[in-house]
Structure 1
Amino acid sequence: MGASALTRLGAVFLLFSAQVACEYGMVHVVSETGVPRGKDYCILYNPQWAHLPHDLGKASLLQLGDWSSSLLCSPSDLPASGFSNQIPLVARGNCTFYEKVRLAQGSGARGLLVVSKEKLVPPGGNKTQYEEIGIPVALLSYKDMLDIFRSFGHKVRVALYAPSEPVLDYNMVIIFIMAVGTVALGGYWAGSRDVKKYMKHKRDDGPEKQEDEAVDVTPVMICVFVVMCCSMLVLLYYFYDHLVYVIIGIFCLASSTGLYSCLAPCVRCLPCCGCRVPDNSLPYFHKRPQARMLLLGLFCVAVSVVWGIFRNEDQWAWVLQDALGIAFCLYMLKTIRLPTFKACTLLLLVLFIYDVFFVFITPFLTKSGNSIMVEVATGPSDSATHEKLPMVLKVPRLNSSPLALCDRPFSLLGFGDILVPGLLVAYCHRFDVQVQSSRVYFVASTIAYGIGLLVTFVALALMQRGQPALLYLVPCTLVTSCAVALWRRELGAFWTGSGFVKDLPQSPWAPADSPQPPRDPDGPCPQQPPGEEQAKAPLSTEQPPEPSTSEEEGAAAPAQEPKSPAPHPSERVGQDPALSSPTAQPGISA
């Protein structure tokens, strides 16, 4: 019984070894009738049957024998003349791969291609069979066989080879530049509205210059968002063919809106097409938008529609998808705002757990043993629609390799891996504006994001499987931001987001008699105690408010009664009210 158990264990080990040893290769096809250029097709082979050369120049170009109507399971299936110096093409089924390749080798074949209408599986065997067979055997998909005969005819020559896989594809450089550039530009743009608020204090003088209000994210919104993400991912896993078109429609609508938001500031600077729509009662046109903005809207919608129609064109559609995706990410980074570092930490940590769970834990919960996240992102192999989710940046592989031809022709990076750390980078830039730190937080968090992305690429190259990018991006960005705040001794203000929350009271530990820095006319307006507003109130009846006065102060000034005579304007020149007026001291009411 012990020997029997050892035998079974050895058989399982050999079968597992055969599956692990399975590799992707290529079959190079050229026509014998004068078609000048050849073409490569994907094959799945087992190197334990016979090794394939890594270089096409060292592979033998042999005639392909079309026996796809034969199963080659018995000697009666062999042709009378045999397979001398040929690579026969036979159908899969009714017998083992060993029986097929043994008959082919005995008839003089130099290799064997087995056509499969089903999913390609490793052509396995045992150690004794491997030692007996000396010709390569590989699987070719039925779809590729039809394309070969349609493109080259039935008189073709083929060469089997398996080039080495590169450690890292060059397209990772393009993805790195796009991702880091989007995070940096989106974070800078998101903080620019606070530059206007804290540095310039200028009011918009017209509806064309007003920007959309940012949406502050609360902990409740974070929890609801994560629950929705989990639910949608599970629904996509089970009902992919039905929901994928919903996601495609949402992407077209959201990306066109994002593209419009990104291009609108540039279009407003154009000197032409500034005329407005005549007065009317239509739902949108009653606002009389400019003609150039209408043309921009039509252009953005047209770009989304063109992508939606030609989304499966692998040659160029990925360029449109990446452009629309970057515009969508920039729009979201500008619109969604995390008001405190506490909210940033909560969001990043929850999505960190979400990403790791659906990539590393779900393979143990699914029947197929595949990750839910990877299965949904790349599209299920058994999908009837063969559609792919557009919520990713995708770049085709630039190196010629079997993996690019067979399994993953594109490298992907999800929008969440850009948006989630990008919200933290945007928060860091806004905090830089508040404390006037020369953008040290913004630069440090952007560099940390780039380092985290590089670590993700290294893990992808070493493990050769899909990686949850937030597993590396979240620790890099969070730890770096905290380290900078600790180094500058601003962790308390950085954690609570002082300056971003409306009506935030002045910090009680600020010294009352500390000298105020000289006021920069373009610098941030210092927070004034309530008493100072009342002391300045009489000036609103004598002269217009200064540019540094906020909208709230200007609105409240006329309603306040002066409690002390205001100084003459000539006495205020070069004098800081916080130092000259006793009502401006912290803790003292006017």
Structure 2
Amino acid sequence: THMAVASPMSSALSSFGLSTSRPVTCEYGMVHVMSESGVPRGKDYCILYNPQWAHLPHDLGKASLLQLGDWSSSMLCSPSDLPPGGFINQVPLVARGNCTFYEKVRLAQGGGARGLLVVSKEKLVPPGGNRTQYEEIGIPVALLSHRDMLDMFQNFGHQLRVALYAPSEPVLDYNMVIIFIMAVGTVALGGYWAGSRDVRRRYVKHKRDDGPEKQEDGAVDVTPVMICVFVVMCCSMLVLLYYFYDHLVYVIIGIFCLASSTGLYSCLAPCVRRLPCCGCRVPDNSLPYFHKRPQARMLLLALFCVAVSVVWGVFRNEDQWAWVLQDALGITFCLYMLKTIRLPTFKACTLLLLVLFIYDVFFVFITPFLTKSGNSIMVEVATGPSDSATHEKLPMVLKVPRLNSSPLALCDRPFSLLGFGDILVPGLLVAYCHRFDVQVQSSRVYFMASTIAYGIGLLVTFVALALMQRGQPALLYLVPCTLVTSCAVALWRQELGAFWTGSGFAKDLPQSLWAPAGSSQPPREPVGPRPQPPGEEQPPEPCAAEEEGAAAPAQEPGSPAQPEGQDLALPGPPSAQPGSPA
């Protein structure tokens, strides 16, 4: 699923609009509440206000501490709703409904109020009006959630003093550092692991596997037709989510649970295979999958991965800790995808990245001109539509809560987001660069250059987010950085032709060993005898991408022998002879 390919760091607010007025600029602020009984402590609550009516001070010390008038049973829509003495030097608290915000604030200002708080049982929306109405009003008006009002009265009683202010936020939050480390680390580890496993697989994939389990997972080579079909499916799914979000979001959550448990199993399996305990196998049986007699520890691992995924699915809306589990599952899912999906040529890499580059920019920057609300389809889907009845969020993102000390962290935008696609798409190019590095023995120069370029592109994305204060299509910056850097390295090393076509992978390799992934062509029988005893188990895969993937491994016991008359340029000890163990 690629609907979150550019789900950008969307902590910036989306724009709201009214059909009869100019667009409403909304901002989050705070209302500081204190009891009139002399209790020194106070508490901040989130409000949403329109600065075009009246600005709020940035510092709490400069805000006026005024008496709160509890008129929450009144909607303040007619002069008869005004109290006999008016609202002299008060901030009245009234209910939302039955009339416009302008009518409420005009009556409040006429009654001597110094501000107006409107209690809303629904999602907070910015109070608005036309240009003439903005010029008439000189007091701030803001919306407060009904839940916060109940909490306010429960903690401080009904005799309250309040101060309205809007503290400034840092341009960038510390959580961007965590997102940066997770994203770059996942791309680097996934690209290295995928490249190492792929190269190793090309040399040992014809080894006879007499054991009941296969240690190597198959890979899928991406073709241009697959890329086109994939992008069409992405566009269709994104549009369907935009119009039928409340119905399809649960489908996406279910897919994420299944895919993330598979990814977690794939990442932990190499480590579990190295454990000395629980190596016994299930008895002989005719059940599906179990007839292969899997090890007990692998069954326990599968149950553990499913349990972790189910725990996240049940507690996914717990903002305090569920994001940690979602990020961990998301990273393992990305590593699994980078290991499974393989781009065979730089031509395929360029096609995929450029098509998704256009897709990303279109759905973030162009769709606001096509939607009635004026909101980006990508940002709307990634953050959840404002009118969603379920209030569910798509899980296909890395999310980290705000870590600064600003009271605005209490408002309804505490997370910064980065879509899985912003990791997977450039990560596939990094994996290709690592495979090419190994084959041409370039000391990982392509891999290092593309990984550094990804990090720079992500930093540029953060800077653009801070400058524009709106959600950004991350691929707008990541694709040029990674593609141009990889191409420049190939030009510098005079290997652009081989890098473009992937021909460096086939250099000096016998044709029988250079069969496409998934090919049904039978391997060439070895000339020498196989030293591997029948039924001997293949050694377990290491816990992480190994060094032996960086340099093609020497011939292993049981691997195909080198045909006579052909040179196979494999790094390894000079004593490794055809048909004999290294």
Q: TM-score range by the shorter chain?
A: 0.7 to 0.9
- Deviation of 1:552 after TM superposition, in Å, equals 24
Unaligned runs of 5+ in 2: 1-9
1:201 and 1:550 in contact (8 A); partners too:
no
Q: Which has the larger radius of gyration?
A: 1
2:132: which partner in 1?
Answer: 128
What is the CA–CA distance in structure 2 between the aligned matches of 1:556 and 1:149, rounded to whole Å? 68
* In 2, Cα distance between equivalents of 1:4 and 1:472: 18
Give the whole-Å Cα distance in 1 for the aligned partners of 2:33 and 2:523: 77
Q: Distance in 2 between matches of 1:575 and 1:501?
A: 14
Residues 264-288 of structure 1: CA distance to partner in whole angstroms, max 9, x if unpaired?
1111111222222222222222222
Per-residue Cα deviation, 1:15-64 (whole angstroms, up to 9, x for no partner): 99985554221112345679986543322223344332212233344332
Taking a change above 3 Å as real, the CA distance of residues 496 and 411 of structure 1, as seen in their structure-2 partners, is same
Secondary structure in structure 1 of the residue aligned to 2:540: coil
Find the partner of 2:547 among 538, 552, 555: 552
Structure 1 residues 318 and 39: CA distance shift in structure 2, 3 A? farther
Of stretches 54-63 and 469-478 in structure 1, the one that deviates more from structure 2 is 54-63
- CA deviation string 1:312-360 (max 9, x = no partner): 1111111100000000000000111111111111111111111111111
Q: Which moved more, 1:256-265 or 1:31-40?
A: 31-40
- Contact kept in structure 2, 1:201 and 1:549, CA below 8 Å: no
- Measured after TM superposition, the shift of residue 140 of structure 1 is 2.1
Q: Distance in 2 between matches of 1:198 and 1:468?
A: 39
* Cα pair 1:525 1:548 within 8 Å, conserved: no
**d(CA) in 1 for partners of 2:34, 2:96:** 24
CA distance in 1, matches of 2:33, 2:420: 38
> Once the two structures are aligned, what percentage of the paired residues are identical?
91
Q: Per chain length, whose mean CA-contact separation is higher, i.e. which structure has more relative contact order (CA < 8 Å, sep 6+)?
A: 2
Displacement of 1:6: 32
Once the two structures are TM-superposed, the CA of residue 154 in structure 1 deviates from its matched residue by 3.5
Question: How far 1:69 moved relative to its partner?
Answer: 1.7
Q: Is the 8 A contact 1:392 1:413 kept in 2?
A: yes
Q: For 1:92 and 1:482, how far apart are their aligned partners in 2?
A: 59
Contact 1:261 1:331 in 2 (8 A): yes
Could you say if the C-alpha distance between residues 75 and 438 of structure 1 is closer, same or farther in structure 2, counting changes exceeding 3 Å? same
Is this contact kept in 2: 1:194–1:433, CA < 8 A?
no
Give the gaps of 5 or more residues in structure 1.
534-542, 567-573
> What SS does structure 2 have at the residue aligned with 1:203?
coil
Check the 8 A contact 1:199/1:523 in 2, yes or no: no
Matched residue SS, 1:525:
coil
Alignment deviations for residues 84-141 of structure 1 (CA, whole Å, 9 cap, x no partner): 4432101234555455334434544332112234554444467776676553222223
- Pairing partner for 2:377 from 372, 392, 395: 372
Q: Specify the SS of the correspondent of 1:8.
A: coil
Conserved? CA contact 1:273–1:291, under 8 Å: yes
- Give the structure 2 partner of residue 454 of structure 1: 459
2:26·2:126 contact (CA, 8 Å) conserved in 1?
yes
Per-residue deviation at 1:482? 0.5
Once the two structures are TM-superposed, the CA of residue 290 in structure 1 deviates from its matched residue by: 1.5
Q: CA deviation at 1:167?
A: 1.1
CA contact 1:45–1:122 (8 Å) conserved in 2: yes
* Rounded Cα–Cα distance in structure 2 between residues aligned with 1:7 and 1:192: 43
Corresponding residue to 2:505 among 490, 496, 500:
500
Q: Which moved more, 1:164-173 or 1:447-456?
A: 164-173
Q: Is the 8 A contact 1:512 1:586 kept in 2?
A: no
CA, structure 1 residues 240+5, in 2 after alignment: closer, same or farther (shift >3 Å)? closer
Contact 2:241 2:381 in 1 (8 A): yes
**Counterparts in 2 of 1:381 and 1:126: CA distance versus 1, 3 Å:** closer
Cα offset for 1:193?
A: 1.6
C-alpha spacing 1:104/1:194, structure 2 compared with 1 (3 Å): closer
- Asked if the contact 1:46–1:138 (Cα under 8 Å) also holds between the matched residues in 2, the reply is yes
SS in 1 for 2:256: helix
Per-residue CA deviation, residues 241-266 of structure 1 (Å, 9 max, x unaligned), is: 11110100000000000001001111
1:150, 1:295 → 2: CA distance?
A: 48
**Comparing 478-487 with 278-287, which one deviates more in the overlay?**
278-287
Distance 1:410 1:521, change over 3 A: farther
- For residues 141 and 347 of structure 1, the distance between their equivalents in structure 2, rounded to whole angstroms, comes to 45
What's the offset of the Cα at 1:289? 1.5
| Residues 532 and 505 of structure 1: CA distance in aligned 2, closer, same or farther (over 3 Å) | farther
Distance 2:350 2:94 in 1: 59
Task: Please give the per-residue CA displacement for 1:64-89, whole angstroms capped at 9, x wherever unaligned.
Answer: 22101222244432223443443210
Q: Given that residues 345 and 500 in structure 2 are in contact (C-alpha distance below 8 angstroms), is that contact kept between their aligned partners in structure 1? A: yes
Change (3 A) 1:564 1:297: closer
**Could you tell me whether the CA contact under 8 Å between 2:364 and 2:378 is conserved in 1?**
yes
Q: CA deviation at 1:302?
A: 0.7
Distance 2:12 2:485 in 1: 54
Corresponding pairs, count: 566
Judge which range, 551-560 or 302-311, deviates more.
Answer: 551-560
Structure 1 residues 385 and 119: CA distance shift in structure 2, 3 A:
closer
Structure 1: distance between partners of 2:545 and 2:464: 50
**How far apart are the structure 1 equivalents of 2:121 and 2:442?**
63
Worse-matched range after superposition: 222-231 or 203-212? 203-212
Question: Offset at 1:522?
Answer: 21
Separation of aligned partners in 2, 1:77 and 1:277: 77
Query: Match of 1:176, SS?
Result: helix
Are 1:201 and 1:547, in contact at CA under 8 Å, matched by a contact in 2? no
Evaluate the alpha carbon distance shift between residue 291 and residue 76 of structure 1 in structure 2; reply closer, same or farther with a 3 A threshold.
same
Query: What is the distance in 1 between the residues matched to 2:430 and 2:554?
Result: 40
Which 10-residue stretch deviates more, 406-415 or 102-111? 102-111
